[in-house]
Structure 1
Amino acid sequence: MNAGATAITGLRVIADHFDHVLLDQWGTLHEGLAVFPDAHECVVKLHEAGKRILILSNSGKRANSNQRRLTALGLPSDAYDGVLSSGEVTWRGLKAREHGPFAGLGNRCFLISRDGDRSIVDGLDLSVVDDVGDADFVLLAGLDDSAADPEQWRDRLTTAARRKLLMLCANPDLVMFGVNGLVPAPGALAAFYQRLGGRVTFVGKPHAPMFAAALERLEHPRPERILVIGDSLDHDIAGGRAAGMLTLLIGSGAHREILERSSDPSHVIRNVAGAARMPHWTMQHLAW
């Protein structure tokens, strides 16, 4: 592997390099059933070592919802220092309205969310409208499996694009796990809107608002003392590198199929990552 990207077997090997951890959820801590035992032990050891741990998620739901899910999956809230979801960052930005992309959006919102969830607008000075023709902007927080096909949204989003409405996408992920396998995620619908001529601002990994919010939550430590851990070159590693942070790729997550097919996973990462997405370290599973 090229310089700066080293395979390790446990975080204890590099623990002196960082004081804070931004930790991905899906594919790193769990895959929807239970927190991996080695990952659970690693979080405990990190906490005992005095590291501050924020769990980051490209979820359009608020942080409390994600925290409750982690508890149900076996990771108690006292094992880490907090959850920062893209939905939480979006909610706080819309609450403050102090700077872009949240300032100047207007108060009438066409909301697209999963399971009818409205937590991303609860307590905000927003009016949720049923007709995109009445909206000042589009807020994309989530997608039901049955509504994941972007073509279902063509007419409404064509109207929104014609009206030059900004779409605020609170989940940049392109695919998600549905009942019958992978289906398009909110990021794919946002990309579809862009192809229709619409303007989109993304909140979530790898985009800057997510990492700026994490820095603020950690009280602005030096970025080079923060380790971003995740299983996606496109989201976790690219976002961490752009923010000037250390990065570690978990090989058993999003890229495992392509890595498992190769006799030299480091060669695959070197070829597909490029400088902007090259992790500083790699490991197969999260472990101490």
Structure 2
Amino acid sequence: MTRIISSLSEISAQYDALFVDLWGCVHNGVHALPGAVSALQAYRAGGGKVVLVTNSPRPRAGVTKQLVHFGVPDDAWDTIATSGDSARSAMFRGVVGQKVWHIGYPGDERFFEPIGVVRDPVDVASVPLDEAEGIVCTGPRDPMADPSVMRPEFLLAKQRGLKLLCANPDIVVDRGDVREWCAGALAALYTEMGGESLYFGKPHPPIYDLARRRLAELGPQVADDRILAIGDGVLTDIAGAMGEDIDSLFISGGLAAEETKTIDQPDANALSGYLEKEKSSPTYTIGHLR
């Protein structure tokens, strides 16, 4: 049974490092969340390390610029591990071939910029679907359109046996008060249709391997039982933490605010019912990171 807490400081002394989700926890897609920023600043001031672990398809440098835009100060975090970096490494190792059909937002072409951490990277080119050896999905073309609009193209891709590399396993995010579809929704549809999707963000192991490497760059190795994962997605952040056997703090006021009846803090009965339905067992729960 999850333990409801009122602040990060209640439990922070038990952990030397945090793996912190961004969207819905530290910012809402429009601006920084002041309580979360203050909590992370205080944690770092006490000697803790903060690794921002995000399912953003952007490379680390791109997320850093985005944090500045949202008003998240650089003293609230130490380093960043992105789904995009993990997925780009796989792409340049050739996991979906050299000629790929790209599905994504305008501007996502930066995903194909050279990466320096892969030895002997393959030359990857973006091509039309009928020429492709694989698919790279960084997001839907229109985040407000139902993913089912992709069925005709996905049917052809499946028939050709193309693998889909998903750079962001999130199904939805809330940009302010507006809910948008993410790449994970398209990957889930492709899998449902019989295609093969490859994931590199939460809750899948590759991004946690990257997060641990980024954490190790900061100093002494931190044992898993001294790491706390924080996030608002039970299917991504909490499922990933459970799979990695690390403790977790569920932010109920994010994606599941309605289901958990969270305003300031979750309703205990609603929270219990929601977690039971989702078969999720976070170590702790709080309404909002603070």
Is this a same-fold pair by TM over 0.5?
yes
Letter of the aligned partner of 1:272 in structure 2?
Y
The reply to whether residue 67 of structure 1 matches residue 64 of structure 2 is: yes
User: Deviation at 1:126?
Assistant: 3.3
- Corresponding position of 2:118: none
Aligned with residue 76 of structure 2, among 79, 104, 112: 79
Report whether the alignment pairs 1:238 with 2:239.
yes
Map of 1:116 onto structure 2:
107
Counterpart mapping for 1:11-30 below 5 A: 11-30=8-27
Tell me, in whole angstroms, the C-alpha distance in 1 between the residues paired with 2:213 and 2:68: 25
C-alpha spacing 1:250/1:61, structure 2 compared with 1 (3 Å): same
Structure 2 residue aligned with 1:100: none
Structure 1 residues 254 and 169, CA, compared in 2 at 3 Å: closer, same or farther?
A: same
- Which amino acid in the other structure matches residue 281 of structure 1? Y
**C-alpha displacement of 1:178:** 6.9
**Residue 257 of structure 2 aligns with which residue?**
256
Q: Equivalent of 2:274, from 259, 265, 272?
A: 272
Alpha carbon RMSD of aligned pairs, Å?
2.4
What is the CA deviation profile of residues 38-90 of structure 1, one whole-angstrom value per residue up to 9, with x for unaligned ones?
11111111111111111122111212111111112222234311122211111
Contact 1:114 1:143 in 2 (8 A): yes
Change (3 A) 1:135 1:249: same
TM-superposed CA distance for 1:123, in Å, is 1.0
| Larger displacement relative to structure 2 (210-219 or 139-148) | 139-148
Q: Give the secondary structure class of the aligned counterpart of 2:51.
A: strand
C-alpha distance after superposition, 1:203-252 (max 9, x if no partner): 21111211121122222532111100111211111111110111001121
- Return closer, same or farther for 1:33/1:119 CA change in 2, 3 Å cut-off: same
Q: Relative to structure 1, is the Cα distance of residues 180 and 134 closer, same or farther in structure 2, using a 3 angstrom cutoff?
A: farther
Change beyond 3 A, Cα 1:36–1:164: same
Unaligned runs of 5+ in 2: 116-121
Identity %: 28
Contact persistence 1:242–1:276 (CA under 8 A): no
Which residue of structure 2 aligns with residue 158 of structure 1? 155
Tell me which of 52, 55, 64 is aligned to 1:55: 52
Between 1:175-184 and 1:165-174, the stretch displaced more is: 175-184
From the superposition, tell whether residues 286 and 150 of structure 1 become closer, same or farther in structure 2 (CA, over 3 Å).
closer
- For the residues of structure 1 that align with 2:3 and 2:143, how far apart are their CA atoms? 42
Larger deviation: 118-127 or 63-72? 118-127
In 2, Cα distance between the equivalents of 1:137 and 1:131? 11
Which deviates more from structure 2 when the two are superposed, residues 120-129 or residues 145-154? 145-154
Q: 1:143 aligns with which of 140, 144, 156?
A: 140
Amino acid at match of 2:260: L
